[in-house]
Amino acid sequence: MEYYILKLYQKEKKECSDLEQGFSRFGTKKKYIVICLIIMMISMIEIIVTILLYPKRLYYLEGTVLLMIAGSILTLINNKDQKDNVSKYANSHKKKIEILNNVLKNKFGIEGKDKIQELIDIYQDYVNKEVEKEKKYNRVIVAICSALAGVLTISFENMEQIGISFNSWIYLAVLLISFAALATLIIYSNTFLDTLKVKYEMLIKDLKELLLIKY
């Protein structure tokens, strides 16, 4: 039942024209966000390609700078949008809580503090299980980072004995860090994507706010 509550809640929110949701809330600024995202993707590709093709050059720094600039612009756009539209988003949030209350009450007969709390507990049980899985992933990441730090430290302290220059060591460091970042991204891909856990966490938050406002 809890899954169908989520799906119906999402459906009702999409059909409500008064709600400002996700990417659509940026309005005319969406094109700038898309441009920044494209620049960030191209920059990451450029960094990887230049490291592999030109290990003794610092061409990858160009991609790194572009990546940082595009990320900063995205942050500025988001912060300005929230500042300029805080009242509108507050009203939109209240409307969202009303929709959730109507779905629970009219579609599933769930009403009252105790029943809503029981529903929160059901969602929380699922989230807790997923959190335990993520803790296992964390241990893998810690192991990778520890091994990476050891390799970089030993290789740096023994560059002459190994027979590598400082530029070669920088190339090795960037390459290893890039692979570690890629491994981390793969391991945490479910966290970054819009998974059921993330949706349940958001719904738990809305349910708690419903308790606060209505009860």
User: What are the phi and psi torsion angles at 165 (to 5°)?
Assistant: -85, 170
In a domain? residue 3: no
pLDDT at 180: 76
Residue 71, pLDDT > 80, answer: yes
Sign of CA dihedral 148, 151, 154, 157: negative
pLDDT at 188: 62
pLDDT at 194: 52
Q: How confident is the model at residue 28 (pLDDT cuts 50, 70, 90)?
A: low
Give the domain-ending residue among 109, 140, 171. 109
Q: Are residues 104 and 136 in the same domain?
A: no
pLDDT at 189: 62
Q: Are residues 102 and 122 in the same domain?
A: no
In a domain? residue 28: yes
Q: Are residues 124 and 91 in the same domain?
A: no
pLDDT at 100: 92
What distances in angstroms separate CA 128 from CA 18, 49, 209, one per listed residue? 33, 40, 20
In a domain? residue 20: yes
Q: What is the mean pLDDT of the chain?
A: 80
Residue 175, pLDDT > 70, answer: yes
pLDDT in tens, 96-135: 898 999 999 999 999 889 999 999 999 999 999 888 887 8
Q: Are residues 209 and 119 in the same domain?
A: yes
Q: How confident is the model at residue 64 (pLDDT cuts 50, 70, 90)?
A: confident
* Distance in angstroms (rounded) separating the CA atoms of residues 91 and 25: 13
Domain with 40 in it: 9-109
Give the domain-ending residue among 52, 87, 109. 109
* Distance in angstroms (rounded) separating the CA atoms of residues 152 and 172: 8
Q: Determine the residue type at 74.
A: L
Q: How confident is the model at residue 204 (pLDDT cuts 50, 70, 90)?
A: very high
Which residue in 24, 17, 44, 176 sits closest to 85, CA to CA? 24
| Number of domains present in the structure of the chain | 2
- Pick the more confident residue, 123 or 28: 123
Q: Is 96:203 a contact under the CB 8 Å cutoff?
A: no
Q: Are residues 65 and 24 in the same domain?
A: yes
Q: Are residues 66 and 127 in the same domain?
A: no
- Pick the more confident residue, 159 or 29: 159
Q: How confident is the model at residue 27 (pLDDT cuts 50, 70, 90)?
A: low
Helices 2-15 and 196-214 cross at an angle (nearest 10°) of 80
User: Tokens representing 194?
Assistant: 């819009």
Give the domain-ending residue among 84, 109, 134. 109
Residue 185, pLDDT > 60, answer: yes
Q: Are residues 117 and 215 in the same domain?
A: yes
